[in-house]
Amino acid sequence: MTARLRATAEGRLRLGVNIDHVATIRNARGDSYPDPVRAALLAAEAGADGITAHLREDRRHITDDDIARLSEGLSIPLNLEMAATDEMLAIALRHRPRAACIVPEKREEITTEGGLDAARHHNHLAHYVDQLGQAGIRVSLFIEPDPAQIEAAIRLGAPVVELHTGRYAHLDGEARAVELRRLADAAALAVKNGIEPHAGHGLTFDNVVPVAAIPQFRELNIGHFLIGEAIFSGLGDTVRRMRALMDEARG
């Protein structure tokens, strides 16, 4: 790769494709298909820069075996979403994904509802951030776009934060514009303090462009919409279209 191409690739907004819900469909019947690893390979071919998978405590979608196969079979980085528990830490240290995103997890929730309260749980999180970091895994904290949470991430020494876009995605009109400004301000505060900001949750073809246009974001992680849309357009075309919208947003 030439220096110019490398600079372009490094500067562009990365797309992490979350393949959890391929596993949700598989697990609905307890069969071996559709295979999330096959989806990950297809997403990589279509332009995904990374694959994200959330190994939940209850293994409702991604399983331990999926993580093992993703760790071995991917040519692009794996971002393991995990709760801050000793069980998940041991799994992360065994497989050593490129990145680990610490998320809050409640057994009864439908999806990750809201970000981590990094300010409140500083002492609990510090151990996991340190252990993952020492193993060479790039740690991110999934937090709300709130200055208090960014400040907690700074104190924890997290190199990356992922800002929760769920509220933005579910609001309309002026309320959405206010939430978008919160995302932009939090991303700018992160960068000012040497933290790389990512974003994700609830992003779709219809709402991704304003988020992708926030210049500080380096990565978006998108799952549920892409897997659902793939039913109609195929996963390759769906990932390519998302990629194109993100690139257009960056001009």
List interacting residues with ligand PXP (CB under 6 A): 18, 20, 54, 81, 101, 103, 111-112, 142, 162, 200-203, 221-225
With H, G, I as helix, E, B as strand and everything else as coil, classify residue 231. Answer: helix
DSSP conformational letter for 189? H
CA 137 – CA 107 distance, rounded (Å):
26
CA dihedral 15, 21, 26, 29 (to 10 degrees): -170
The residue with tokens 């439908």 is 110
Please say whether the dihedral angle defined by the alpha carbons of residues 234, 213, 164 and 181, taken in this order, is positive or negative. Answer: negative
Tell me whether residue 58 or residue 174 sits nearer to ligand PXP (CB atom).
Answer: 58
Q: Which of 21, 54, 61, 95 is catalytic?
A: 54
**Selected catalytic residue, list 21, 164, 198, 201:** 201
In the complex, the smallest distance separating the C-beta of residue 1 from ligand PXP, rounded to whole angstroms, is 28
How is residue 120 written in tokens? 């409140």
Would you call 170 a catalytic residue per the annotation?
no
Q: Which is nearer to ligand PXP, 18 or 149 (CB)?
A: 18
Report DSSP state, residue 97.
-
Shortest Å, Cβ 61 to ligand PXP:
9
Q: Are 153 and 187 in contact, with CB atoms under 8 Å apart? A: no
Q: How far is the CB of 203 from ligand PXP (least distance, A)?
A: 6
Beta carbon nearer to ligand PXP, 3 or 82: 82
CB nearer to ligand PXP: pick between 24 and 131: 24
DSSP structural state of residue 13 = P
**Both structure tokens of 147:** 């200055």
What is the smallest separation between the CB atom of 235 and ligand PXP, expressed in angstroms? 14
The gap between the terminal CA atoms of the chain, to the nearest Å, is 22
Distance CA 66, CA 36 (A): 7
| Nearest distance, CB of residue 169 and ligand PXP, angstroms | 8
Crossing angle for the helix pair 235-249 and 224-233, to the nearest 10 degrees: 120
54 is a catalytic site residue: yes
Active site residue 201: yes
Q: Which is nearer to ligand PXP, 6 or 170 (CB)?
A: 170
Q: How far apart are CA 21 and CA 18, in angstroms?
A: 8
Active-site residue, selected from the candidate residues 81, 105, 179, 229: 81
List, by residue number, the catalytic residues: 54, 81, 201
